[in-house]
Amino acid sequence: MTTRQRILRKLVNLYPPFLGAGIRIKFDDTANKVLVSMKLTWYNRNYVGTHFGGSLYTMCDPFYMILLMDMLGKEYIVWDKSAKIEFLRPGRSTVHAEFYIPDETVKLIKKEVDEKGKAVPEFVAQVKDEQDEVVARVHKYIYVRKKDTGK
């Protein structure tokens, strides 16, 4: 992991959308996992007393892209392509989500890029409450291709 990556991982908790929603982020030392949590507070509670849907999505938004960028390296372009969130039950307590990309998945993505010129893998994260009940499910589609080398 580069010095820049280490600094960004420490500062990410100060990013205003995360800070404002009460979202806490912990990058695992393995570089392929992120743990995110969000307490239910007055500033992320909606009219009916549960987590704002937007806050639930915000806590899930960038992490698959960030992990994939770090794991693939600088020779790849990695962008969020699309996303979908399913709200399954009200979030009435602290919620958490884990974002994990196995090394084998990265190998398959590289293979697909080599064969087809690009890949758009789907990743699914589950947001769970304190009782480990699934509150929301987020589907992220990430666009991946190799950078043009200009040769």
Kindly list the distances between the CA atom of residue 117 and the CA atoms of 16, 49, 129, 132, 148, in Å, as whole numbers in the listed order.
36, 47, 39, 39, 11
In whole angstroms, give the CA distance from residue 83 to residue 18. Answer: 18
Q: What is the pLDDT along the chain (151 residues), one digit of tens a residue?
A: 667 667 777 788 888 888 888 899 998 877 789 999 999 998 888 999 999 999 999 999 999 999 999 899 999 999 999 999 999 999 999 999 999 999 999 999 999 999 999 999 999 999 999 999 999 999 999 999 999 865 4
Which helix (H) or strand (E) element contains residue 27?
A: strand 23-27
CATH superfamily of 3-146: Hotdog Thioesterase (3.10.129.10)
Residue 128's pLDDT is: 98
DSSP track, 123-147: EEEEEE-TT--EEEEEEEEEEEEEP
Collapsing DSSP states into helix, strand and coil, what is residue 122? strand
pLDDT at residue number 7? 75
Give, in order, the Cα–Cα distances in Å from 55 to each of 18, 31, 60, 140, 141. Answer: 9, 25, 9, 16, 19
